[in-house]
Structure 1
Amino acid sequence: MSLKYSVGDLTIHRVIEQESPFFPALEFIPGLTAEVLAENRAWMRHAKALDDADTLILCFQSYVVKTPHHTILIDSCIGNDKSRPQRPKWHMKTDDTYMRALGAAGVSVEDIDFVMCTHLHVDHVGWNTRMENGRWVPTFPKARYVFAKQEFDYWTEQNAKAEVPPFADSVLPVVEAGRHELVGNDHQIGDHVRIVPTPGHTPGHVAFAMGRGKDDAVFTGDLIHSPLQTLYPELSMKFDVDQAIAAKTRRNVLERYCDTDTLCCTAHFPSPSVGRIKRKGNAFVCESV
């Protein structure tokens, strides 16, 4: 299994925190029927995207991208010491899996120049902070943390109504430390990093396109969760805040990168998680590289 990819002048490392059965397919994707699941069960199991109990297998990971100028971490996964009682596998975790995976990619927390969040859900911001002397501090001390303003504003509003734990413990401490940047959809970092607006999963969800002058790689965040959704882009998942917009966005992005050389780096597809989008009839497949 490859954890490292090179494309253009980018080097990309996968940093895996967990990979396991996560949610029953028919529950996770409300529009999925038993018939469609049956038609796709064989290849999904072969791809290790579905287990014998019809539970979707998801990977939870970050990507470290080295451009000629910067070392960038995309989405910071689940984190340790976080109170997540609804998710036993994430609750008050104390393992060293993530930090070991970061080390295996040849990177220390001090090496990260930017942390970029596709959105601010619990499994994408967890390692933004870590517990130190009883308080949350930025895990990556030299990094600027890049949040899409629309996404940040949405969660600020939600948090004002009732505390949103991942926002309170993994986003606000970064703001209090003065390490964050709120950016619009036209934001770029040098000539290598651009924002692709991808609303639907959350109102301000974004993907990141990277490469000098062209999109050598795109990091999709939660635009798409399972390989099944490349074949059926209209199938949205239960946690999409607007399932219709999510479906439209998904098809548009798959169309944009279809039959190009752009590496599609997904957040949650089972390993190897990275591939190129190819057309298949009126839909798509993600061919592993």
Structure 2
Amino acid sequence: MTKPTAAPSGRSVRDRRELRPATERSGLTCGYNCLFVSTVDGMAVVDTGLGASFLGYGEYIEPLVGQLADGMAGAGLSRSELAAVIFTHLHQDHSRGAIWSGEPTFPVADAYAHVAEVAYWSGPIEQESALPHSAAARETIRLYGERLRRSFEHHDEILPGVRALPATGHTPGHSAILLESAGERLLCVGDTFYDPLQVTNPGWATPWDLDHPASVATRRRILAWAADEQVLLHAYHLPFPGLGRVRRTATSYTWEPIR
């Protein structure tokens, strides 16, 4: 599924066209890959998509989103039994799927977001690129109330085998989620990068990164660690299923998807 996006660095349309001969494309393809995790404390989901009836990106996007419930049903999962919702951050394309109907989509689930994320969206929002996301973020905080655990800090173990790692810059509490089981690891990088172009060019920020220098530093650090450790990555916005590894090149990195 796709949505309108700007150039990878937030550059002008003219600059993006200048990049076209090298990339052979003029836009980005964005997925919305929600990940379900089975833990000894129950089933959890990492991020929840845009939810149904979303017109914020134009009418054409509405039929392409809001498919989380169908996907769960197809996998034999029940919304009423989900134990936990983990948010890498509270942008609307990660949180609205949890609240789009006006009630919690997962009625008995505890919700987890970084303490700085909850604090930021609970206060006055002044950055222009954050404004479209504020309604969904505030509604998520309101609807989940006491079930939104506000105490999670980076490096905390949220659930057994599920740990939050620092990935700030995109938002103040943006977190990567590290899953560990039987000696294997999977790192959910959230919005650390939107497209393989940002893997090859980690210095490119996006208009939705609230702190550009911090987002670039985070991206460089996570890419270096993932390449050195050969950690399997789950990238929320890459084409389904968003799984792959990062390899070092002579001057940067490259994304190798797992089909």
Query: TM bucket by the smaller chain?
Result: 0.7 to 0.9
What are structure 1's unaligned runs of at least 5 residues? Answer: 1-18, 42-49
CA, structure 1 residues 139+94, in 2 after alignment: closer, same or farther (shift >3 Å)? farther
1:192 aligns to what?
Answer: 161
Q: Distance in 1 between matches of 2:241 and 2:110?
A: 28
Letter in 2 for 1:71: M
Q: Distance in 2 between matches of 1:276 and 1:87?
A: 30
1:29 aligns with 2:26: no
1:208 aligns with 2:177: yes
SS of the counterpart of 2:113?
strand
Judging by fraction of residues, say which structure has more helix.
2
2:44 aligns to what?
Answer: 72
SS of the counterpart of 1:56?
coil
2:2 aligns to what?
Answer: 20
1:123 aligns with one of 85, 90, 93: 93
The Cα of 1:98 is off from its aligned counterpart by 2.2
Tell me which moved more, 152-161 or 121-130: 152-161
Q: Distance in 1 between matches of 2:157 and 2:67?
A: 31
Q: Distance in 1 between matches of 2:60 and 2:50?
A: 7
The Cα of 1:56 is off from its aligned counterpart by 1.1
SS of the counterpart of 1:25?
coil
Judging by fraction of residues, say which structure has more strand.
1
The Cα of 1:282 is off from its aligned counterpart by 2.5
The Cα of 1:103 is off from its aligned counterpart by 1.4
The Cα of 1:285 is off from its aligned counterpart by 1.4
The Cα of 1:23 is off from its aligned counterpart by 2.1
Q: Distance in 2 between matches of 1:227 and 1:197?
A: 21
1:270 aligns with 2:214: no
Give the TM-score taking structure 2 as reference length: 0.85
C-alpha contact 1:192 1:213 (8 A) present in aligned 2: no
1:166 aligns with 2:136: yes
SS of the counterpart of 2:4?
strand
Tell me which moved more, 136-145 or 28-37: 28-37
The Cα of 1:38 is off from its aligned counterpart by 2.2
Q: How far does the alpha carbon of each residue in 1:182-207 deviate from its partner, in whole angstroms, 9 at most, with x for none?
A: 11113213440111111111111111
2:80 aligns to what?
Answer: 110
CA, structure 1 residues 59+94, in 2 after alignment: closer, same or farther (shift >3 Å)? closer
SS of the counterpart of 1:153?
helix
2:27 aligns to what?
Answer: 55
Count of paired positions: 251
1:179 aligns with 2:147: yes
C-alpha contact 2:114 2:175 (8 A) present in aligned 1: yes
Q: Distance in 2 between matches of 1:203 and 1:90?
A: 31
Q: Distance in 2 between matches of 1:248 and 1:214?
A: 28
Q: How far does the alpha carbon of each residue in 1:230-257 deviate from its partner, in whole angstroms, 9 at most, with x for none?
A: 1000011111111111111101000011
Q: Distance in 2 between matches of 1:165 and 1:147?
A: 16
Q: How far does the alpha carbon of each residue in 1:134-178 deviate from its partner, in whole angstroms, 9 at most, with x for none?
A: xx2211112110010001101111359989311233331111xx3
Q: Distance in 2 between matches of 1:140 and 1:55?
A: 34
CA, structure 1 residues 29+141, in 2 after alignment: closer, same or farther (shift >3 Å)? same
1:241 aligns with 2:205: no
SS of the counterpart of 1:196?
strand
Give the TM-score taking structure 1 as reference length: 0.77
Q: Distance in 2 between matches of 1:90 and 1:65?
A: 31
